């Protein structure tokens, strides 16, 4: 290899016959990479005087004072709050946001990333789409020395800081509240089985049942695909039609809980006397429903603010950061739907 130019991450990957993403993760000592690969990559990088783009001499000269932000939905109670927090934090430092939505589709996410890379954003905030599997389009930002912060939904394939809800603990607390109110047959209308926040909420739900001596029933855990009101209605109907129906529902979102509540009203099943309902996110609608909905406050504004604070600090330090996870605490909001 010629020493006349600064080698890139792609050069390292090509010479060692590994992928660019593996080379990047090895340089950051990512847990999923073998010690042998980490040592091999770091030794090669040192031997050839590799300098990450993030601290290259020209890094600061190409700043646009713009941060890209990619969310699944713009018109969405939780993500709207996240966006507001991000804008608030960015404005304090003279930055602006370039925002795009994916509609939970990887193909839209790829297009958004290409557009933002073309617009030369300084860094990226992203909540991964539900059907995203490959992450090469996001890794490209890291390869170009641009910091990436994942928030809410994330991929373990990317060695970046993450800002997330403590979904395990939040679900555990929500289910414990139902148990404390006297419910013993608690179902969980979950999200997509491959999405991390759905996985963690399911784990929290199961752990709460286990710790309180309650039996887990697989048929009480249907999985939403669209995560909407219609699915809440349909799954509540399905669950109540079982030979052994539940006496409480812990729903993946408030919107799903709203659909479940609609079915229960039509079926003349009294809430909370005969059936308890717990949502998640504390959307405004949860306060005005009748009965009002018990839920979990996610603090989306704090999440957006924290994610932006981190990316701005990394830009100041000319760093890509590490694989650290920042958890945003939640609050249980007990309302009429669970208080007997």
Q: How confident is the model at residue 318 (pLDDT cuts 50, 70, 90)?
A: confident
**Of residues 89 and 24, which shows the higher confidence score?**
89
Domain residue extents for the chain: 9-52, 66-164+300-328, 167-298+333-338
Cβ pair 270, 290 in contact under 8 A: no
Cβ pair 66, 315 in contact under 8 A: no
The answer on pLDDT for 59 being more than 60 is no
Q: Tell me what pLDDT residue 55 has.
A: 43
The answer on pLDDT for 325 being more than 60 is yes
Specify the 3-state DSSP secondary structure of 182: coil
Q: Give exposure, 202-233, as e/b (b: 16+ Cβ within 10 Å).
A: bebbbbbbeeeebeeeeebbbbbeebebebbb
Structure tokens at 6: 């600064």
253-266 pLDDT, tens digit per residue, is 999 999 999 999 99
Q: Which CATH superfamily is domain 9-52 in?
A: lambda repressor-like DNA-binding domains (1.10.260.40)
Q: Tell me what pLDDT residue 29 has.
A: 79
Q: Tell me what pLDDT residue 20 has.
A: 83
Q: Tell me what pLDDT residue 260 has.
A: 99
279-303 pLDDT, tens digit per residue, is 999 999 999 999 999 999 999 999 9
Q: CA nearest 321: which of 190, 118, 158?
A: 158
- Mean pLDDT across the chain, nearest whole number? 93
CA distance linking residue 327 with residue 174, whole number of Å: 17
Cβ pair 191, 171 in contact under 8 A: no
Q: Tell me what pLDDT residue 52 has.
A: 66
For residues 148-177, average pLDDT: 97
The residues, ordered by sequence, that sit 6+ positions from 64 with a Cβ below 8 Å of its Cβ are: 119, 120, 121, 122
The answer on pLDDT for 83 being more than 70 is yes
The residues, ordered by sequence, that sit 6+ positions from 115 with a Cβ below 8 Å of its Cβ are: 100
Which residue carries 């939905």 as its tokens? Answer: 73
Of 18-32, 172-186, 278-292, 324-338, minimum mean pLDDT range: 18-32
Q: How confident is the model at residue 5 (pLDDT cuts 50, 70, 90)?
A: low
Q: Tell me what pLDDT residue 8 has.
A: 85
Does this chain's domain 9-52 share its CATH topology with 167-298+333-338? no
* pTM listed for this prediction: 0.81
The percentage of the chain sitting over the pLDDT mark of 90, rounded to a whole number, equals 81
7-38 pLDDT, tens digit per residue, is 888 899 999 999 887 888 888 777 778 999 99
66-71 and 123-126 beta bridge pairing: parallel
Q: How confident is the model at residue 246 (pLDDT cuts 50, 70, 90)?
A: very high
Specify the 3-state DSSP secondary structure of 73: coil
Q: How confident is the model at residue 107 (pLDDT cuts 50, 70, 90)?
A: very high
- Pick one of 1.20.120.790, 1.10.357.10, 3.40.50.2300, 2.40.70.10 as the CATH number of 167-298+333-338: 3.40.50.2300
Q: Tell me what pLDDT residue 60 has.
A: 43
Which residue carries 């609609």 as its tokens? Answer: 262
Integer distance in angstroms from the first to the last C-alpha of the chain? 73
Q: CA nearest 7: which of 30, 27, 32, 35?
A: 27
Q: CA nearest 50: which of 4, 7, 3, 2?
A: 7
Q: How confident is the model at residue 340 (pLDDT cuts 50, 70, 90)?
A: confident
The answer on pLDDT for 61 being more than 90 is no
Q: Tell me what pLDDT residue 106 has.
A: 97
Radius of gyration over every alpha carbon of the chain, rounded to an integer in angstroms? 23
Q: How confident is the model at residue 119 (pLDDT cuts 50, 70, 90)?
A: confident
Alpha helix segments (H runs only) across the chain: 9-16, 20-27, 35-47, 77-92, 106-118, 136-143, 167-180, 196-211, 229-240, 254-266, 285-288, 300-317
Cβ pair 29, 53 in contact under 8 A: no
The percentage of the chain sitting over the pLDDT mark of 70, rounded to a whole number, equals 95
For residues 140-148, average pLDDT: 92
- CA dihedral (249, 250, 252, 256) in degrees, to 10, reads 30
66-164+300-328 has CATH 3.40.50.720 classification: no
């Amino acid at each position: 290899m010629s020493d006349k130019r600064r080698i890139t991450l792609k050069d390292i990957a090509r010479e060692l016959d590994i992928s660019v993403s593996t080379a990047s993760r090895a340089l950051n000592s990512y847990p999923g990479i073998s010690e042998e690969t980490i040592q091999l990559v770091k030794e090669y990088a040192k031997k050839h005087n590799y300098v990450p783009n993030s601290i290259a001499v020209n890094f600061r000269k190409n700043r646009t004072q713009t941060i890209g932000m990619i969310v699944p939905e713009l018109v969405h109670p939780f993500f709207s709050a996240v966006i507001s927090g991000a804008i608030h934090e960015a404005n304090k430092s003279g930055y602006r946001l370039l925002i795009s939505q994916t509609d939970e589709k990887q193909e839209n996410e790829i297009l958004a990333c290409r557009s933002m890379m073309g617009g030369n954003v300084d860094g990226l905030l992203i909540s991964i789409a539900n059907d995203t599997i490959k992450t090469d389009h996001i890794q490209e930002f890291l390869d170009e020395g641009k910091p990436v912060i994942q928030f809410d939904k994330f991929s373990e394939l990317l060695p970046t800081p993450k800002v997330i809800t403590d979904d395990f603990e939040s679900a555990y607390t929500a289910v414990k509240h139902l148990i404390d109110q006297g419910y013993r047959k608690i179902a969980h209308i979950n999200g997509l089985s491959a999405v991390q926040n759905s996985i963690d909420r399911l784990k929290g739900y199961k752990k709460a049942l286990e710790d309180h001596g309650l039996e887990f029933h697989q048929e009480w855990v249907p999985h939403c695909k669209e995560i909407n009101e219609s699915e809440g209605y349909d799954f509540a109907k399905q669950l109540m039609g079982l030979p052994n129906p539940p006496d409480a529902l812990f729903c993946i979102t408030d919107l799903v809980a709203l659909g479940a509540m609609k079915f229960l009203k039509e079926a003349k099943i009294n809430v909370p006397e005969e059936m308890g309902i717990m949502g998640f996110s504390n959307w405004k609608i949860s306060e005005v429903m009748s009965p009002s909905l018990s839920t979990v406050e996610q603090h989306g504004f704090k999440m957006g603010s924290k994610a932006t604070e981190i990316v701005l600090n990394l830009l100041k330090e000319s760093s890509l950061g590490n694989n650290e996870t920042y958890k945003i605490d939640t609050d249980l909001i007990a309302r009429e739907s669970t208080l007997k």
